[in-house]
């Protein structure tokens, strides 16, 4: 009988350890949270945070597009380490114009 660990099954599918996956997911949640807050402020003060959400979403799309390309390449064992070495998480932070 095969047992699966519900905490590591998905991270293994995307070639990450549990901690790598947690770090990546926390970075994404922090980035999207700052975008949500910026968008909320922008709703009432349209002269603030004019492009930061759309710019950040484009950057996140680039990250996910790169992930798909890397995951499609079986030669790369540990995608996450490669990607995090190439991109710093501060590039994804929402920045006011």
In the predicted structure, residue 86 carries a pLDDT above the cut 70:
no
Q: Is 92 exposed, middle or buried (0-12, 13-18, 19+ CB in 10 A)?
A: buried
Judged by average pLDDT, the poorest of 9-18, 27-36, 71-80 is: 71-80
Q: 70: pLDDT confidence band, cut at 50, 70 and 90? A: confident
In the predicted structure, residue 96 carries a pLDDT above the cut 50:
no
The residue among 49, 41, 35, 42 whose CA lies nearest residue 93 is 35
Q: 83: pLDDT confidence band, cut at 50, 70 and 90? A: low
Dihedral class, residue 76 (left if φ above 0, else alpha if ψ from -120 to 50, else beta): beta
Residue-level pLDDT at 43: 97
Residue-level pLDDT at 76: 67
pLDDT tens-digit map of 16-69: 999 999 999 999 999 999 999 999 999 999 999 999 999 999 999 999 999 888
The residue among 88, 67, 75 whose CA lies nearest residue 16 is 67
Residue-level pLDDT at 72: 87
């Amino acid at each position: 009988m095969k047992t699966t660990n519900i905490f590591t099954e998905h991270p293994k599918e995307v070639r990450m350890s549990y901690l790598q996956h947690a770090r990546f997911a926390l970075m994404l949640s922090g980035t999207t949270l700052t975008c949500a807050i910026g968008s909320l402020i922008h709703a009432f003060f349209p002269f603030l945070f004019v492009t930061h959400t759309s710019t950040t979403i484009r950057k996140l799309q680039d990250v996910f597009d790169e992930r798909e390309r890397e995951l499609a390449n079986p030669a790369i064992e540990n995608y996450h380490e490669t990607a995090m070495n190439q991109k710093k998480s501060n590039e994804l932070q929402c920045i006011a114009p």
